[in-house]
Structure 1
């Protein structure tokens, strides 16, 4: 498979700007493909010493990591599965919960075997480690995945060596980093521009500051998109818990920031919301700092999931996007959130 030629054709058809650094990443992907799936080359060139079954594409926000790996994934013609990393870990924890009675069996082995039965390749988008529960699991989980010869694509904003940096008990996480370095190609994609912030992608569904004029604009737009629709409260069930969407108009939902990010809810809840929504409004996004970093982390997770599920947004905030502040610990990852907000609120990004 000549990925370079296919990628150039893909960019031309989709009117995408071609960047030499992106072509370099495509060349690395071509090596990964030949090493793992080109049987004639496997026997001639590659040995167990240089045999790597992971491909880790790292780069800043908006440089095209997901676009490149989506391109490869869509061209890959064997069994495969794609997950946002949050979804992948939720699926693992769900599997553990459902099999908690089988104490005699190795739950990681069973989970990995289930993956292997379905896929020769898995793709984990937005790989990041933010909590100690996942951090303590990943070493054993991915050692088994690699040992079972499952090929893995990763996209991430963070270099492998910097994963879970300054996290609790990070010394126990270091074996995972060692495994990743040994078993994966790590490729860095460096591009100065954030394509999501390009002029052609400027938004018209982002309103600020928080005042009467902003409320008027929001309400006017909202009346336009919900015309002839009736508000019907939607109640969702997540593992026995109830989550209420108070303002729900046949797939269009309107939330205050506090409803989504100040309560004890998380990725599973956000995924459930995306199953019943085609358009979401979020009002009153605050200025972030160390005092509300928990809310900011939930907001980051929420936007990641909305982006993964292609849910367009309309939002209001105290400040314009580039001026939204962040708690110190989340500054780097919040850049991705801002970039995605540009795209999710752009005119061209809509299902209406």
Structure 2
């Protein structure tokens, strides 16, 4: 027999896989209300009732937002549902808009079911609504002007078609796209969120992820890869894992694995590619925790990779990003000689500091 979100939550507690947190109760109750309304939707539609209101769940990292939303997604009885990272969804939206604008009548008809008109928003919204009656987004944040300019119109059409939105964010709605260019064109989206979603803040005193990291090993050697993998699995819990795309100055930087506000990538992917400070700053702004694996001992012929690694660590350090590393050596031995080896000593010192409990404690206070 199917269980609801509240029963799934209690089951995790009973199994010892989750510690009860009273601060999560308002969010859990709100999700249960959304779940009940979605499952009653056929009757509501039959008798002309009000549309289902979704949920905007916001608060600092590590409080369980993604876990609660994923429990809801797994239990809600809605056959047409989609769970995605918000930025992945928006990348798909822009790709489909490009298809509409570049396609001929036959291509538009094949993808959208119609070819009429110049505005892609209405046919795009109908296409999305045909695929999913429930959209669940993790980490809703808006930093790109291209996203900001279309969100209001797109979601007005989606809500009009009865699509329900459930999402998590680190920011309250009024702080979305804060100080962004032409923000006045974005505020209708904020108004829609307030109208069509319950607003619940999840801001308990326990940062479960940080508390676990304070007691965990965060620097691993190659023979400890199973423990490194186990820590990733433990911290992401039931959060959905998927690739992530960073939009940086008109370019796309792919991150192979992400789960909520955590990212996981290899040294080669971040430091052997032609990436620079803006890319690493975007990474640090997007994620509060980075699992960095397969960091090698660097030789003089890899000075460019060493230089990028220094830049990456500087960006993570300044953003107070939590760092878990799988490396071939201790920080002091990662780049013993070569151009920039003397300067690398500062990076080694920062790596030692970033693995300390005191730094994690200060990081939590300063970032939040």
TM-score range, shorter chain: 0.5 to 0.7
**Residue 140 (str. 1) matches residue 153 (str. 2):** yes
Residues 1:76 and 1:317: Cα distance change in structure 2 (over 3 Å): farther
User: Which residue matches 1:125?
Assistant: 138
Using the alignment, how far apart are the partners of 2:130 and 2:118 within structure 1?
Answer: 18
User: Which residue matches 2:331?
Assistant: none
1:160 Cα shift? Answer: 0.4
Using the alignment, how far apart are the partners of 1:5 and 1:190 within structure 2?
Answer: 22
The answer (yes or no) to whether the contact 2:142–2:177 under 8 Å persists in 1 is yes
**Residue 197 (str. 1) matches residue 197 (str. 2):** no
User: Which residue matches 2:65?
Assistant: 65
**Residue 324 (str. 1) matches residue 317 (str. 2):** yes
> Where does structure 1 lack aligned partners over 5 or more consecutive residues?
207-217, 226-259, 286-290, 327-333, 347-352
1:198 Cα shift? Answer: 2.1
The answer (yes or no) to whether the contact 1:55–1:154 under 8 Å persists in 2 is yes
Q: What SS does the aligned partner of 1:191 have?
A: coil
Using the alignment, how far apart are the partners of 1:343 and 1:195 within structure 2?
Answer: 20
Residues 1:41 and 1:12: Cα distance change in structure 2 (over 3 Å): farther
Residues 1:133 and 1:59: Cα distance change in structure 2 (over 3 Å): same
The answer (yes or no) to whether the contact 2:59–2:202 under 8 Å persists in 1 is yes
Residues 1:196 and 1:108: Cα distance change in structure 2 (over 3 Å): same
Using the alignment, how far apart are the partners of 1:318 and 1:199 within structure 2?
Answer: 27
The answer (yes or no) to whether the contact 2:82–2:135 under 8 Å persists in 1 is yes
Q: What SS does the aligned partner of 2:84 have?
A: strand
User: Which residue matches 1:114?
Assistant: 127
Residues 1:44 and 1:146: Cα distance change in structure 2 (over 3 Å): closer
The answer (yes or no) to whether the contact 1:125–1:155 under 8 Å persists in 2 is yes
> TM-score, normalization: structure 1?
0.64
Using the alignment, how far apart are the partners of 1:344 and 1:112 within structure 2?
Answer: 43
User: Which residue matches 1:88?
Assistant: 89
The answer (yes or no) to whether the contact 1:59–1:156 under 8 Å persists in 2 is yes
The answer (yes or no) to whether the contact 1:284–1:318 under 8 Å persists in 2 is no
The answer (yes or no) to whether the contact 1:60–1:190 under 8 Å persists in 2 is yes
Using the alignment, how far apart are the partners of 1:284 and 1:105 within structure 2?
Answer: 40
1:324 Cα shift? Answer: 2.3
1:213-228 equivalent positions in 2, closer than 5 A: 221=221
Using the alignment, how far apart are the partners of 1:343 and 1:38 within structure 2?
Answer: 47
User: Which residue matches 2:198?
Assistant: 185
The answer (yes or no) to whether the contact 2:173–2:190 under 8 Å persists in 1 is yes
Using the alignment, how far apart are the partners of 2:254 and 2:32 within structure 1?
Answer: 35
1:295 Cα shift? Answer: 3.8
Residues 1:344 and 1:155: Cα distance change in structure 2 (over 3 Å): farther
User: Which residue matches 2:27?
Assistant: 25
Over residues 78-128 of structure 1, what are the superposed CA-to-partner deviations in whole Å (9 max), with x where a residue is unaligned?
A: 221111111001000111112213572531222222222222211111000
> TM-score, normalization: structure 2?
0.61
Using the alignment, how far apart are the partners of 1:200 and 1:161 within structure 2?
Answer: 31
**Residue 38 (str. 1) matches residue 40 (str. 2):** yes
Query: Which consecutive segments of 4 or more residues in structure 1 shift more than 6 A?
Result: 43-46, 282-285, 315-321, 343-346
